[in-house]
Amino acid sequence: MSANESPSGKHPTATSEAVRDSAFLKACRREPVPHTPVWFMRQAGRSLPEYRKVREGIPMLESCMRPELVTEITLQPVRRHNVDAAIFFSDIVVPLKAIGIDLDIKPGVGPVVENPVRTRADLARLRDLTPEDVSYVTEAIGLLTRELGATPLIGFAGAPFTLASYLVEGGPSRTYENAKAIMYGDPGLWADLLDRLADITAAFLKVQIEAGACAVQLFDSWAGALSPADYRHSVMPASAKVFQAVAGYGVPRIHFGVGTGELLGLMGEAGADVVGVDWRVPLDEAARRVGPGKALQGNLDPTVLFSTREAVETKTREVLDAAAGLEGHVFNLGHGVMPATDPDALTRLVDHVHTLTAR
Ligand code: CP3
């Protein structure tokens, strides 16, 4: 199989030579880079006035199903900030909506599921995802890769645990008590639920890679709620199944969660090429926890951007100093851009990292 061919053999993946030689993909592969690449989780979104303008009157999930709108929103931060990668505009619950789960994204709240999934009978509602279910994703990525030129496009999905947390709780939670009740009380049902979600997630990532995404990020945003033993036993097998399912494409696989300092080694072991780190663990310490053979992504505290220019520069330098000995480093925030962030502070940050790290 050539590097340009998909494992299914049906579609050549659209990664051009210029994209393969980008600083972002080089850093993911732990190769020398011209400068440390930068992108931001949630770089497309409410921090940008041009986003708020095009989204006016269009519900979040509907906007994810309109290819021209998805293309425009994905490109907005690339135009404005000179970031080294674009992230596909969608949401982690889009594949669940696409297979008919009755859910919505409520503004200021997050995903809300009308009828939570809590019994074995409920599992039957989680059918397989086919490419036809998300044809708008294929169409949007086709449009995007043409517009992006040499800028790499990152595809993404929610990891089985984080998706399960919304499905079982019925919405955002701080404690995950209903999900953990199943995890501890009915481990067979829990394993089957996460395995179903792993298949759906893998199918969603494959659609994005086959359409032209040249890296993928698995968001296990809420895995930090778990102890290492519970993570290893009850969650890691499903996330590992997702990574394994897309291994044959040869695109870098990024694995990210919040508050996952104690899980970093396991999150690498699950099958990631790049481990995302929030701001709680310095990158040199994170590298010790992850071990050799993986790049790291992170990890400026997103709230730092609300402080003075001097403070942003000091904290940025701290991140870069801690990253100095890494095999590969992709600069990012430790979690998503907060909606009230001044977009100009993000533009300055990209420029600052590029200048400080130019080789
Ligand atoms: O720029 C990008 O990063 C790409 C777009 C993206 C969105 N959601 C768009 C979005 C990505 C990568 C996500 C992932 C996502 N969605 C995660 C994992 C990342 C993380 O933050 O940990 C999670 C947990 C979700 C679930 C979700 N969807 C939440 C918690 C919310 C916020 C609710 C709110 O209004 O505060 C959403 C909605 C959402 N997804 C918005 C955006 C831009 C805001 C809705 C809007 O703009 O109207």
Residue 280 CB partners (closer than 8 Å, separation 6+): 259, 261, 334
CATH number at 144 reads 3.20.20.210
Q: Which of these is catalytic: 20, 46, 232, 348? A: 46
| Residue 3 included in any domain | no
Ligand 1 pocket test, candidate residues 61, 66, 92, most atoms within 8 A of CB: 92
Lookup result for tokens 């600069």: 331
Q: Is the CB of 336 under 6 A from ligand 1?
A: yes
| Residue 276 included in any domain | yes
User: Of all protein residues, whose CA lies closest to atom 38 belonging to ligand 1?
Assistant: 110
pLDDT at 57 > cutoff 90: yes
| Residue 12 included in any domain | no
Tell me the mean pLDDT in the region 64-73. 98
Q: Convert the pLDDT of each residue in 237-261 to its tens digit.
A: 999 999 999 999 999 999 999 999 9
User: Of all protein residues, whose CA lies closest to atom 21 belonging to ligand 1?
Assistant: 336
Active site includes 51? Answer: no
| Residue 23 included in any domain | yes
| Residue 8 included in any domain | no
Domain residues for the domain of 240 are 17-357
CA atoms within 13 A on the CB side of 20: 9
Q: Domain tally for the chain?
A: 1
| Residue 7 included in any domain | no
- What is the 31 CA–ligand 1 centroid distance (Å)? 31
| Residue 97 included in any domain | yes
Q: Is the CB of 110 under 6 A from ligand 1?
A: yes
Q: Is the CB of 61 under 6 A from ligand 1?
A: no
CA distance readout (Å), 45 to 5, 74, 102, 162, 213: 33, 9, 24, 21, 20
| Residue 60 included in any domain | yes
- What is the 166 CA–ligand 1 centroid distance (Å)? 13
> What value does the mean pLDDT of the chain take?
96
User: Of all protein residues, whose CA lies closest to atom 9 belonging to ligand 1?
Assistant: 91
Active site includes 55? Answer: yes
Per-residue pLDDT at 160? 98
Which residue type is seen at 332? N
Other C-beta atoms lying within 10 Å of the C-beta of residue 227: 11
Q: Is the CB of 108 under 6 A from ligand 1?
A: yes
CA proximity to 90, closest of 105, 100, 102, 109: 105
pTM for this model (two decimals): 0.95
Q: Convert the pLDDT of each residue in 141-195 to its tens digit.
A: 999 999 999 999 999 999 999 999 999 999 999 999 999 999 999 999 999 999 9
Q: Is the peptide bond before 115 cis (omega within 30 degrees of 0)?
A: no
- What is the 292 CA–ligand 1 centroid distance (Å)? 31
Per-residue pLDDT at 13? 53
CA distance readout (Å), 119 to 111, 115, 123, 173, 348: 20, 11, 7, 19, 50
Q: Which of these is catalytic: 51, 118, 166, 199? A: 166
The first and second tokens of residue 217, run together, are 């990020």
